[in-house]
C-alpha cells in the first residue's frame, strides 16, 4: 500500500482524537503484517488490476485503523460520523445534539420530581403558617389582661369561661345573650371617649357601672331578707350621672309603704371586701348577672331612656371584660327595680 495514502488516513484520524494523535506516530502498526509497505506511492506502471487491488487494500486497512479508534472512515478517507463522549459529529466535526435521549428523559423526570417536592414543601409551610396564625390569635384571646394599647386593640371575647357562664345564666332567665369585649389594660385610666371607642358604644351615656350599696341602718335576721328590705343592693348607673343616696333611701321607704321609718335607711358604698364576698366579682368587674348571693338589683331610670334601643355596657365579671345589655331585657332577667336614683 502506498505510504502516502496510509499517512493521509492517519492524519485525518489523528487530528480528531487524542487516541488518533497517539497512534499517528506509528501508522503501520495497525496494518496487517502480510501487507507490504512501499517507500512511495508512485504509479510504477503496473497493470490496472494491481493498482485497483492496492487501492482496495489501502481502503480496507484505513477502515480497520479507523474502527480501532472509534471512527467510521470512507474510502475517500473522510470522517463521516463518530460517537465521541455521547455526541454525534458530522463530517465537519461539529456537535449537533445529545444522542442519549433516554438521559434527557431522566433529567426531565428528576426535574418534575424536584418541582413536586417543592410544591409539597410550600403547601406544608402554608399549613404551618396558618396554624401559627390561629395559635397567635388564640393566645391573644387568652392573654389577660391585654397590654396597654389604643381602642382598636380591644378584642371580642364571647367564648371565654366567664362569658359562657354569664350567657348561660341569661339564657336560663329567658334573656338574649350578651356580647363581650376585652379592653386594654389602661382602660380605667382613660377618659370616657376612649372607653366608648373600645366598646363601640353609642355614646358616653351608654357606659354604666354596677355599685354595691349597703344600708348601714338595716336590722333583720338575714342580709337579704327581702327585695324591699335588704342590707345590700347592686345599683346600675351611668358614668355620666351621679348617684343620689337620698333618692334610694326615699325609694325604699316608699317600697315598704311606710312600715319602716325613714331613719331605718342609710345607704352608702359597700366596702370592697363585702362587695367581692357578696357579688363574687372584683372591683371593676362587678356585674348584676350571676351573683353568688341573692342581692336585689336596681337600675337608674335614665338607662332605660337611652336610645337607640337602650343598649348599654357595664362590667362583665372581670376587670377587663365588658358586656352589653338591652335595658328592657336586663330588667326582665334580673327583676331589677327601675329607680330615679341619680342627678
| Domain boundary assignment for the chain | 155-339
Query: 263 near 140, Cβ under 8 Å?
Result: no
Supply the pLDDT for residue 247: 97
Which fold is adopted by the domain 155-339? YbaK protein (3.90.960)
- Structure confidence by residue, pLDDT tens digits, 13-62: 555 555 555 544 554 444 444 444 444 444 444 444 554 554 455 455 54
pTM over 0.85: no
pLDDT of 146 reads: 86
pLDDT of 220 above 50? yes
How much is the pLDDT for 166? 97
Amino acid at each position: 500500500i502506498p505510504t502516502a495514502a496510509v499517512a493521509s488516513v492517519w492524519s485525518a484520524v489523528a487530528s480528531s482524537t487524542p487516541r488518533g494523535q497517539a497512534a499517528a506516530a506509528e501508522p503501520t502498526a495497525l496494518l496487517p503484517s502480510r501487507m507490504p509497505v512501499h517507500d512511495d506511492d508512485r504509479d510504477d506502471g503496473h497493470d490496472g488490476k494491481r493498482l485497483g487491488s492496492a487501492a482496495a487494500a489501502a481502503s480496507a486497512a484505513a477502515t480497520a485503523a479507523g474502527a480501532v479508534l472509534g471512527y467510521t472512515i470512507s474510502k475517500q478517507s473522510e470522517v463521516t460520523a463518530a460517537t465521541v463522549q455521547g455526541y454525534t459529529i458530522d463530517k465537519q466535526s461539529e456537535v449537533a445534539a445529545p444522542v442519549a435521549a433516554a438521559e434527557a428523559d431522566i433529567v426531565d423526570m428528576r426535574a418534575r420530581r424536584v418541582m413536586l417536592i417543592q410544591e409539597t414543601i410550600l403547601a406544608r409551610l402554608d399549613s404551618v403558617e396558618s396554624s401559627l396564625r390561629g395559635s397567635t390569635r388564640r393566645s391573644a384571646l387568652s392573654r389577660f389582661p391585654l397590654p396597654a394599647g389604643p381602642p382598636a386593640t380591644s378584642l371580642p371575647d364571647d367564648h371565654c369561661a366567664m362569658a359562657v357562664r354569664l350567657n348561660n345564666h341569661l339564657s336560663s332567665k329567658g334573656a338574649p345573650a350578651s356580647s363581650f369585649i376585652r379592653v386594654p389594660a389602661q382602660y380605667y385610666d382613660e377618659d370616657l371617649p376612649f372607653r366608648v371607642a373600645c366598646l363601640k358604644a353609642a355614646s358616653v351615656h351608654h357606659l354604666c357601672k354596677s355599685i354595691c350599696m349597703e344600708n348601714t341602718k338595716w336590722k333583720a335576721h338575714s342580709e337579704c331578707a327581702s327585695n324591699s328590705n335588704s342590707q345590700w343592693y347592686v345599683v346600675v348607673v351611668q358614668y355620666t350621672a351621679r348617684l343620689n343616696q337620698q333618692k334610694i333611701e326615699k325609694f325604699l321607704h316608699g317600697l315598704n309603704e311606710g312600715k319602716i321609718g325613714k331613719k331605718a335607711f342609710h345607704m352608702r358604698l359597700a366596702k370592697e371586701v363585702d362587695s367581692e364576698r357578696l357579688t363574687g366579682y372584683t372591683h371593676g368587674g362587678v356585674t348584676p348577672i350571676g351573683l353568688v348571693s341573692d342581692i336585689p338589683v336596681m337600675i337608674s331610670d335614665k338607662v332605660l331612656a337611652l336610645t337607640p334601643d337602650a343598649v348599654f355596657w357595664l362590667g362583665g365579671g372581670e376587670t377587663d371584660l365588658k358586656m352589653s345589655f338591652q335595658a328592657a331585657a336586663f330588667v326582665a332577667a334580673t327583676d331589677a327595680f327601675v329607680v330615679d336614683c341619680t342627678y
